[in-house]
Structures are given as C-alpha cells and as structure tokens.
Structure 1
Amino acid sequence: MTAPAAPLDLTDPAVVADPYPAFAEARAVAPVQWHEGLGLWLAFTHTEANAVLRDRRLGRIWADKQPAERFGSFNLIHRNAILEMEPPDHTRLRRLISAAFARGHVERLRPWVEDLARTLVDGLVERSAGVEPVDVLSGMAEELPVAVIAELLGVPDTDRPLLRPWSNAIVKMYEYGRTTETEDAAERAADEFVAYLRTLAAERRRAPGEDLLSHLVSVRDSEGDRLTEDELVTTCILLLNAGHEATVNVSGNGLLALLEHPSELTRLREDPNLLPTAIEELMRFDSPLQLFERTATADVEIGGITVERGQKIAALLGSANHDPAVFDAPEVLDVGRTDNPHISFGAGIHFCIGAPLARVELQASFGALLARTSRLELARPARRRPEFVIRGLAELPVVLTA
C-alpha cells in the first residue's frame, strides 16, 4: 500500500503554535504518512505511534553528526546515551542506572522538592501580590527541575546556574531548520558540560557522598560490570536535558491549559486528590515532546505501509495523545480522566527512566501553586517558543493572589 504524503509543515508558525488541528486532519487521512521534507514516515495514531515505540525492529540507531571533528562532544554524549542504544548495550546500561536509582533517591528527595516548590511559589506570590504579573516559567518552572537534578547529582550550589544554559543550548540540536550558530552553541555547551562532569566525577571517586553521582560512580552489577566514564558523564547530562526540559514544559503547558480552562482549575483546587490524574492529563493534553524518531533494522509493516530497512519513522506523541479512537473527547481537558494511556513518557524499553522523579516534581509544583494561592490569572497571552519537537513556552505571565 502506498501511503499519502503528509502535508504537515513543522516550521509553519500556525502549526508550532497549535499542531493539534493539523494532527486531527492528518489522522483522518491515514495512520502513517510519508513526509518528503523530513525524509521519514510519520505515525499519527495512538496504535501506530505506540507500535513505533515498542517494535524491536525499530531502533534508536545513533549516527555521529558530521563533520565528526566539529561535533566531538555532542557526538560523545549521544553515542554513550541509553536513549540512543539498543540491546544488549541498552540492557546493560539501564540495569546499572536502575541499580543506582533504586537506592531511594526519588523518595529521599520528595520532602525537599515539596519544600522548594512552596518556597518558589511564595516568592512569586510576594512579587505579584495579586496585582503585578510574574513569569511562572522563570520564577518556578525552570528553577525547580534544575535544582532537583542538581541536588540529585550533588552539584554544588555555586555551580548550579551553569546547568540550564548548557542544557538549553544542547537540546536545540533536536529541532529542524537549525542555524550554524545554533549548532556551534550546542557543541560548546556539550564540551563545557562534559569537562565539568569529568571533574565532578573525579571528586566523587575521591570523596563519595549519598548523591546519585556517587552511586553511579560506584555501581556495579552482578557480573562486576560498571559504567565507563563516558557513559557516566552522558547519563548525568541526559538526566538534566531530558528530565528538566520535560518537567519545565509540562509545567508551562499544563498551567496555561488550566488557566484557559478555569472550570478545571477550580475543580482541581476544590479537590486536591485529583492532582495525580491531573498531572497525567496535562502531559496528555499538550505533550512536552512531540516527535520521537526510530530507524528500521528490518522491513516493518506499520499502519498498512512498509518501513524499509534503513528508513526512519517518527511517533508523533502529541497526535497519538489526541487520538479519538483511544481517548474519549480528546480535545477536552479533564483533570479527572482515569482512562489515560498517554505515551508522553515513551513506551517499551525506552520508557523514561526519570518518570517517577518527574511526577514528584510536577505534583509538588502544581500542589504548591494551588495550595498557596487563592487566585491564578493569566495577565497577558503566553509566549510560545518557536520550536516544534520540544514544545514549550518562553513566557507565562500570571497574577497570583495569596
């Protein structure tokens, strides 16, 4: 079967601002479509996107960015990343990382995260005083996850302001239509980040603590295997890049969705027990990551078409999360939605290893916003970042009343 070509223009400002109507039109045409501009297949429906993430014949096959000498550090942190590996390398690395995480780091941090969220919200409320608009992104959404990852890894307080600029520069490499300046900035950031973490890891070898980095340095599996230094450095960078970007963007996209659906905001404020289901719904409603690529290692049939060996296919996570075949009234925000098999954390062997930590952070931040304010009001239209793949806001001006 020959699938139609997807007319979707991922650089169209209208699509970047709101891709969901375009997704709905595409789903009505065919579940999988060829995108000539990107040179890959796109899976629009939940069934097909889920299959893309789970089928073992569709892998994450890393190929160094070229010219390799220009992207030395960027390539290093992807060549050794669990996200870019397939079994058996992926199995070994995930086993080691999971063993370090299993030492109770997420639950250890929960009270600290909740206290930090309250402190950040109180600072916003004090500055706003029910009158002045404050940017919830810079004032809380961006600060909390970076602080949590830094605390998790044991990064000294004085060094923590370095982390988000490095991460911001690196993740812009995942967008389409990059400039030379964007690529150069990403490589500089990767180089500086790698050098910093090598130094920090050396310090943890000399004087280990109770932080995750110390445990990643020392962890061994039953066969005595351990992380190489490149794998260790890459794992720390991935935790920050993937962990904080997703949390920041769920915070921004999610709060904007609640402000635009005041009845759901009121419902959640009146029943805080809905918070866990609300977080899952906010992740579904406006997904922080919209596209995830895989490469066929053999011919694979998906949605009635054949993805030939060597071809790429991408799961459109936001489109899948709005598929009416799976979600009842998908365009409706429902903070009490319980039947919610969203795939914003991925699926299969690449399901996000940091998902439990992300949920702790999101429940803490939204819980603090609701508990420590009596009113939240959008001061002026939010400003969205001009990228499609990683979907988030640049500014979210809100008036908060204690």
Structure 2
Amino acid sequence: MGFVRFDPWNPEFVANPYDVYTELRRDRPVSFFEPTGQWLIARHADVNALLRDRRLGRSYLHVATHEEFGRTPEPDFQEPFWRVVRAGMLDVEPPVHTRLRRLVSKAFTPRMVESLRPRVRKIAGELVDGFVERGGGDLIAEVAEPLPVTVIAEMLGVPETDRPLLRPWSADICGMYELNPGPQAQHTAVRAAEEFAGYLRDLSRARRDNPGDDLVSLLAQVVDEGDRLTEDELIGTCVLLLNAGHEATVNVTGNGWWSLFRNPAELDRLRTAAAAHDGTPDTLPLLATAVEEMMRWDTPLQMFERWVLEPVTVGGVEIPRGAEVALLFGSANRDPEVFEDPDRFDVGRTDNPHISFGAGIHFCLGAPLARVELVESFWALLKAAPGLELTREPSWGPGYIIRGLESLPVSV
C-alpha cells in the first residue's frame, strides 16, 4: 500500500510537505502511490542517481507507442499541446534531445546570459523603486512576476505591448504538469499552447526575414554542420524557456522571501551583509549562497517525473518497465544523509548540492539566467527596502508540482 499521508491535493500538505517527506525517507523511501500510479522516490541519492540513469526518460515515445508501453493514448484534443511541448527539449530523449540541446546551446550561451546582467539589474531596480514608492504591496505580482517575464520577453524580442500575454500563457500551460489535471485545466493548457505557438510562429517568421539581436533571431540562424532548428523546434524551445525560466524564478523569489521572514535571524544576517557591501551584487558571496539555500529549503519544483524504459532496482525495490517514478525534489533537498541539519535555513550554507535544477542531460539550461535574476532581484530589495515587512501571512497556491505562494503582501 502507498503512504497514506502523502496527499498532493490537500492544501495543508502543500503548505508543509516536509514532515511527510521525513517519514517517507525513513520508512518508505520507495513507495507506490495508488492515486497517480507512480513510484515515489524520496531520498537524495536515489533521486540524483535516477536523474542520470539512461534506463529512465522524460518520454517513452522514442522506444514504444503508448499501447506498446501499456499506456492509454492522450485524447485527441490534447494534440496541439503535446505537439508544442515535444518540439522542445524537455520532453524528448536522445538522440533528438542531444541535437536540440546542441543547437540551442549555440545561441543560449553562458556569455550571452552574463551579458544580460546589466539589463536584469536595471529592470530589477526599476521594479523595486516603483514598489518602494507605492509603499509596498504584493511582492509576487509587482516584482517577482514582472522581472523574469520582462527579461525573457526582451530576450525573445517580444514587443512591450504584447508582454502581458506571456504570464497567463505560461501559467495555463504549466497547469497540465500538475498531478491528474482536471478537464478544464487540460483544455485551458491546450488553448494557451495553441495561442502562444501561433504568436511565436508569426514572430519567428518575421525575425527570419528581418533578424535582430534577440534570441528568436539567433535561434532562427543557428546552423551546426548543416543542421538547424525547424520552425516547430524553435517554437517549442521558446515556450520551454518562458515556462521553465519564468515559473521557477517567480516561485524561488516568493518562497525565498517567505523563508527569510520565517527565519528573521537569517534575514538580518543577509541585510547586514548587503548594507556593508559596496560592490556589485554578484560579488557578495552571502547573497549567492542565500539564493542556493532558498532553492534547497523550499524547492519551487517539488516533483519531477520520469518513465522507466528498462527495469530498475531502487532501494531494494524492483520497478518494472512501463512504470512512472515521481522524484521528490523537495524531499531530496532535505535529506540528512546529504545536508547537515537539513531543516535549518542557513543563508551561508556552502556545502549545498541541491537538485532543484535537476541533473544529468536534462539539467536546467536556464540555471545561469535564473541565478542572475534572483541575485539581482534580492539585492535590489535588500538595498532599497531594508525594512521590508510582511503585512499578513501568505497562502499557498493550489499547485503541488510547481509550488509557490499566491501572493506575498509586504510593506516597505
């Protein structure tokens, strides 16, 4: 039988899954969860190993049909959604994944990301200045969400007038990744994927004819030994960049500030370091370690799912081909076998091999950009609003896999 207290649809569990994770790691590190038909994997060593194990994959369609894999085909109405998603690199496996990642990496380089830092700093500063002038408000809606959306929109070359479209598309598409999404969430995700894909198709064609210095233009021009991205692959890549890059950054920001408010000594420690630092935020070591600790202590992506392509044994339990494993990132990041005093929030933690960005071939391509955005965002708030205070306790959104606060009301 499955572990009965694991309940991803229960708001109380979503608000604090960590006590349950402690029991899972201790008593049932590999357990079958009947409501979703998944094997829950709770320990860091197992999660880390399976992320790198080529006997598992984000997809099985490169080795079998749905029927051959013992799975029910997706309903026809979902086809536009999966056509977009599977044209990107997240939900495909080698050799397709290898080819896509190689091509995208030629445009989305670490050097390109680092070149964005001054612009990210300016956007973060402007958002925070306006927030302070208004005396505070909802930190998520007014700072956390606009920053990555603006950065990604500028990267892609999306005109300013069209940018309000991006956040709703991203949120609606990501609704499909929750556990057992309902019919309304499914149809909403399909519609959003169709609309966003249509928008990007028009944008990419315009950039092919009149290229600029934006990422869509660069992706359209990438050629490697005669190979290039198809139009569908370019669109799928841009959708992935928005969804993965945006949702995670927003939730690390919200969850991170909530973590700081719940640990006032650590917040004071960070404020003191920021006040004494006269350099740039990227040269303040405590800020960098604090961002990593926020990602570990209250992980924005709680679960990452993989299909078992060949039988595997995990923790002495045999998991058959055709099964699905649910890798519990939030549990792995609190594993005492890896992290000293794991339930303690420590902004100076330097030994911090969290897996919030994944591992193996699907390690998050946007991790460097997320780190830049987070460091600049927290720096801007620490410097401009050193007295930032919570005005009332926030509530968690309904999502479990992509887990974040609905709002974070604060005063300055």
Same fold (TM over 0.5): yes
Question: d(CA) in 2 for partners of 1:193 and 1:62?
Answer: 26
- 1:101-112 to 2 correspondence within 5 Å? 101-102=108-109, 104-112=111-119
Pair 1:231-2:233 in alignment: yes
Contact 1:105 1:152 in 2 (8 A): no
Pair 1:308-2:310 in alignment: no
In the other structure, the counterpart of 2:392 is 380
Question: d(CA) in 1 for partners of 2:80 and 2:381?
Answer: 39
Alpha-carbon deviation of 1:285? 0.5
Alpha-carbon deviation of 1:295? 0.8
Question: d(CA) in 2 for partners of 1:88 and 1:365?
Answer: 37
Pair 1:6-2:13 in alignment: no
Q: Alignment partner of 2:59: what SS?
A: coil
Pair 1:19-2:17 in alignment: yes
In the other structure, the counterpart of 1:318 is 330
In the other structure, the counterpart of 2:128 is 121
Alpha-carbon deviation of 1:68? 4.2
Q: Alignment partner of 1:294: what SS?
A: strand
Contact 1:46 1:326 in 2 (8 A): yes
RMSD over aligned CA atoms reads: 1.4
Which amino acid is the alignment partner of residue 409 of structure 2?
P
* Gap change, CA 1:146 and 1:62, over 3 Å in 2: farther
Structure 2: runs of 5 or more not aligned: 67-71, 275-283
- Among 137, 142, 145, the alignment partner of 2:148 is 145
In the other structure, the counterpart of 1:47 is 45
Question: d(CA) in 1 for partners of 2:60 and 2:147?
Answer: 31
- 1:343-354 to 2 correspondence within 5 Å? 343-354=355-366
After TM superposition, which residue ranges in structure 1, 4 or more long, deviate above 3 angstroms?
A: 62-68
Structure 1: runs of 5 or more not aligned: none
In the other structure, the counterpart of 2:105 is 98
Contact 1:105 1:212 in 2 (8 A): no
Q: Alignment partner of 1:84: what SS?
A: coil
Question: d(CA) in 2 for partners of 1:176 and 1:93?
Answer: 27
Corresponding residue pairs, total: 392
Alpha-carbon deviation of 1:230? 0.8
Which amino acid is the alignment partner of residue 207 of structure 1?
N
In the other structure, the counterpart of 1:80 is 87
Question: d(CA) in 2 for partners of 1:102 and 1:144?
Answer: 20
**TM-score normalised to the size of structure 1?**
0.95
Contact 1:296 1:312 in 2 (8 A): yes
Question: d(CA) in 2 for partners of 1:89 and 1:15?
Answer: 37
Contact 2:40 2:325 in 1 (8 A): yes
- Among 363, 374, 393, the alignment partner of 2:405 is 393
In the other structure, the counterpart of 1:134 is 137
Which amino acid is the alignment partner of residue 70 of structure 1?
F
Pair 1:180-2:183 in alignment: yes
- Among 230, 255, 258, the alignment partner of 1:256 is 258
Contact 2:60 2:307 in 1 (8 A): no
Which amino acid is the alignment partner of residue 215 of structure 2?
L
- 1:136-285 to 2 correspondence within 5 Å? 136-221=139-224, 223-272=225-274, 273=284, 274-285=286-297
Contact 1:60 1:83 in 2 (8 A): yes
Alpha-carbon deviation of 1:38? 1.1
Deviation per CA, 1:43-73: give whole Å up to 9, x if none.
1010011112111101111668955431132
In the other structure, the counterpart of 2:351 is 339
Which amino acid is the alignment partner of residue 195 of structure 1?
G
- Among 77, 80, 96, the alignment partner of 1:70 is 77
Which amino acid is the alignment partner of residue 48 of structure 1?
D
**TM-score normalised to the size of structure 2?**
0.93
Alpha-carbon deviation of 1:6? 2.3
* Gap change, CA 1:301 and 1:66, over 3 Å in 2: closer
Alpha-carbon deviation of 1:9? 1.5
- Among 19, 25, 28, the alignment partner of 2:26 is 28
Question: d(CA) in 2 for partners of 1:293 and 1:75?
Answer: 16
Contact 1:51 1:302 in 2 (8 A): no
Q: Alignment partner of 1:24: what SS?
A: helix
Q: Alignment partner of 1:383: what SS?
A: coil
